[in-house]
Amino acid sequence: MIIIVIKEDCPRANYIIEILFKVILKVDYRICYSTQLKKLLFEFPLASVVLYLPEEETFEVEHIRVPFHPWMNSEVLIVPQNIQAKNDFFEEDIFMKCFIKLTEIENYSSINLDSHHRYEEDNSEDLVPLLHQLAYDLYDLCKKHNYILPDIKVSNSLTYSLDVDRPFVFKGLPLYLNLFGVFKDVFTLNFNRLTQRYKYLLSKIDPYDEAWDKIIKHAQITNIFFLMDSAPQVDGYYPLKSNLSYDKLIQKVSANPNKNIGIHPSYNSFLNPTKIIAEKELLEQLIQKKVTISRMHFLKYKLPDTFKFLILAGMECDFTSVYYSKIGFKHGIAYPFNWFNCKENKVTDLIINPSIAMDRTFLSYLKLSPEETISKINDLKLTLLKYGGCLDILIHNGIMSDFEEWKGWSKIVE
The residue ranges that bind Zn ion (CB under 5 A) are 163, 165, 297
Q: Are 370 and 412 in contact (CB under 8 A)?
A: yes
- CB 235 → Zn ion: shortest distance, Å? 8
- CB 284 → Zn ion: shortest distance, Å? 19
Pick the closest to residue 165 from 222, 116, 230, 210 (CA basis): 230
- CB 264 → Zn ion: shortest distance, Å? 5
- CB 165 → Zn ion: shortest distance, Å? 4
CA–CA distance, 396 with 168 (Å, rounded to integer): 12
Closer by beta carbon to Zn ion, 165 or else 318: 165
The three-state secondary structure class of 324 is: coil
Q: Which residue is nearest to Zn ion (CB)?
A: 297
- Beta strands at 337-341 and 317-318: parallel, antiparallel or unpaired: unpaired
Closer by beta carbon to Zn ion, 326 or else 360: 360
Closer by beta carbon to Zn ion, 167 or else 389: 167
List own/partner pairs for 135-142 with CB under 8 A and 24 or more apart. 135/20, 135/21, 135/24, 135/25, 135/98, 136/25, 136/387, 137/89, 138/20, 138/50, 138/64, 138/66, 138/94, 139/25, 139/27, 141/64, 141/89, 142/2, 142/48, 142/50, 142/64
- CB 380 → Zn ion: shortest distance, Å? 22
Closer by beta carbon to Zn ion, 259 or else 297: 297
The three-state secondary structure class of 347 is: strand
- CB 227 → Zn ion: shortest distance, Å? 6
Give CA separation, 303 vs 77, 125, 223, 315, 348, in Å: 12, 23, 24, 16, 14
The three-state secondary structure class of 302 is: coil
Closer by beta carbon to Zn ion, 126 or else 163: 163
Closer by beta carbon to Zn ion, 165 or else 392: 165
- CB 279 → Zn ion: shortest distance, Å? 13
Closer by beta carbon to Zn ion, 99 or else 323: 323
CA–CA distance, 150 with 27 (Å, rounded to integer): 8
